[in-house]
Amino acid sequence: MPDPTQLKSPPATEPSGSESPGSLRRVLTMWDAAALMVGIVIGSGIFATPPSIAVSLDRFGPMISVWLVGGLLALCGALTYAELAAMFPRTGGAYIFLRETYGRAPAFIYGWSALLITYPASIAAVAVVFAAYLNRLVPLHPVPQSVVAAAMAVLMCGMNMLGVVLGARVQRTFTAAKVVALVVLGGSAVFATAGQWSHLTPVWAAPSGGWSMTAWVLAMAAVMWTFEGWADGPTLSGEVRDKKRDLPRALLMSTLLVTVVYVLVNAAYVYVLSIPTIAASDSVAVDLAQTTFGSKGAIVVTLLVLVSTVGSVNGMTIAGSRVFFAMARDGLFFESVGRVQPRFKTPANSLAILAVTSAAYCLFGTFEQIIRYFVFVAMIWFVLVVLSVFLLRRRRPDAERPYRVPFYPITPAVFLLVAVGLMIQLYLANMRDATIGLVVLAASLPTYFAWRRWHGIRRQGTHSS
């Protein structure tokens, strides 16, 4: 007797682009997908990461080069994901790639870690930053910031229930606003009276601590996490109009745009503030804005962070809900989560679950430690997804590939080499948290077999009744 859990589920979207009552609609453009990726990538990292990098690499050349290399590595990963997204143009992103390459069990483990940990904890982390900066602008007392953060997470989920086009328009608006604001902030540094070209010299020299591999690895890890977010774009593969070309183009454009913005802003930090000042700062963007715009600079950065965090939360909300939706359509989560809201054509139940879990993380404030546990684990998923390109080229050489990663196998190999090296370094730097993350993942495997058994018995009961 065949395993009931292996029975085909209805597709998340119709392959031909036609719409059935239970499918998500292909209504998003390449620009919508690009806005999602840029909006998630540019969150709070560009405001928090530069000081730690300036401590490790306290010369302009090494400091900027690590951002350029980070952008190049992100591009290698994005181009590799683009091949998979064009090959499997279905809602779910990495969940689909893992299922097609390694089977349902690894995909289940990834999906459940995304459901219970990755997306809600990440949304909560950014929502709390939003509440903290909003409190600077408008005092929130007596309302606790955690409540404001939870309300913001729920609001974003609720808004996306009203239509994917509405959510995409909001994303495009906030993404455009934050990119323009960052470019203006970075570009205006040229006219700052405090700016000095001497802050950039010597352009290339050994950091004061010498050429330390550990310093480079830790700086690169921080930069790669600041770029992280491009991988969420393929979650929309089942909703873009041109399933063969929109995602590859969006992945390429968004990664290049973010790299340019990051390099510009970091160069502005150094030109205006100097590297020692950056290294000693706990709010480098505020320092830059105050030096450039005067006393109103803090307000400028506060508004920028608010726009940035709203866009990031909205983007993660869209991406995360599609992973849960794909799981449910696959029979690996409750069937109701895979239903499409009849009127608005959105995965409303999936969004509702994400709203509840994200709000819980905000209210209980447990996300920071949990995120530390899963930093190492998240790198494992990146490695497995990129590795799948090699495996699928060997196993399915004749499969349709509307887009092929350029310079194969060099492009994915470069990403894998660096990612594995960073993964090893992250584990050695924090064995305890990494091990806890691995144990939590391993504990989900029995859940997978229990789910299969329960779901199979339930289906047999349904068919026999």
The Cα-based distances of 172 to 40, 163, 315, 353 in angstroms read 11, 14, 10, 24
Residue 355 lies in a domain: yes
Say what the pLDDT of residue 161 is: 95
454 occurs within a structural domain: yes
Task: Quote the pLDDT of residue 366.
Answer: 66
Structural domain contains residue 415: yes
Q: Would 10 be classed as within a structural domain? A: no
Written as six digits, the tokens of 293 are 């715009």
pLDDT, one tens digit per residue, over 303-325 is 998 999 999 999 999 999 999 99
- How many domains is the chain built from? 1
CA distance 404 to 164: 28
Domain of 374, in residue numbers: 25-458
Q: Identify the sign of the CA torsion 201, 207, 211, 215.
A: negative
Token representation of residue 243 = 């399933």
The two three-digit tokens of residue 353, written as one number: 């679950």
Domain CATH code at residue 453: 1.20.1740.10
Q: How many CB atoms lie within 10 A of CB 151?
A: 15
Give the long-range contacts of residues 192-199, CB within 8 A, separation 24 or more.
192/271, 192/272, 192/291, 192/292, 194/272, 194/273, 194/291, 194/292, 195/271, 195/272, 196/271, 196/274, 197/271, 199/60, 199/270, 199/271, 199/272, 199/273, 199/274, 199/275
Q: Which of 339, 388, 400 is nearest to 15 (CA)?
A: 400
pLDDT recorded at residue 22: 64
Question: pTM of the full predicted structure?
Answer: 0.87
8 A C-beta contact, residue 67 and residue 223: yes
CA distances from 2 to 68, 328, 357 (A): 51, 20, 35
Beta bridge pairs of residue 240: 28
Q: Does residue 135 fall inside a structural domain?
A: yes
CA 332 to chain centre: 23
Which pair of tokens denotes residue 161?
């229930």
Closest by CA to 167, choosing from 176, 156, 182, is 156
Q: What is the pLDDT of residue 8?
A: 43
For helices 297-329 and 284-293, what crossing angle results, to 10°? 140
Closest C-alpha to 100, from 90, 17, 407: 90
Per-residue pLDDT reduced to its tens digit, 155-168: 999 999 999 999 99
314 in a structural domain: yes
Residues of the chain with pLDDT under 50: 1-19, 462-465
Asked if residue 379 is part of any domain, the answer here is yes
Q: What are phi and psi of 340, to 5 degrees?
A: -100, 130
Q: Which of 169, 448, 157 is nearest to 321 (CA)?
A: 157
Residue 16 forms part of a structural domain: no
